[in-house]
Amino acid sequence: MDIASLTTPEAVLSNYPHHSLIEFTAGIARKEGGIVVRDPLPDNPSHALICGKNPEGRLTKSQAKKIQQSSMWVILKTP
């Protein structure tokens, strides 16, 4: 996941030319119980994580599905 205000759609997909891109707000992730954590990488300063509150630190399938349902397409590529 990347923080939109720190990057561009083109930069996000630069290494993934055949992928599509969706967006959702950090507020949506938090509403579903996720914890949004900045996780800058040397080659991607906009990188972030969404962690769950369970012992594994993962979102449940239900949480992920609700976030997905609240997402919007930024770039949709056809197969």
Residue 22: count other Cβ atoms within 10 Å of its Cβ. 13
What number is the average pLDDT over the span 9-35?
97
37, 25, 8, 21: which is closest to 70 by C-alpha? 25
Per-residue pLDDT tens for 26-69? 999 999 999 999 999 999 999 999 999 999 999 999 999 999 99
Q: pTM of the full predicted structure?
A: 0.86
CA atoms within 13 A on the CB side of 35: 9
Query: What pLDDT is recorded for position 32?
Result: 96
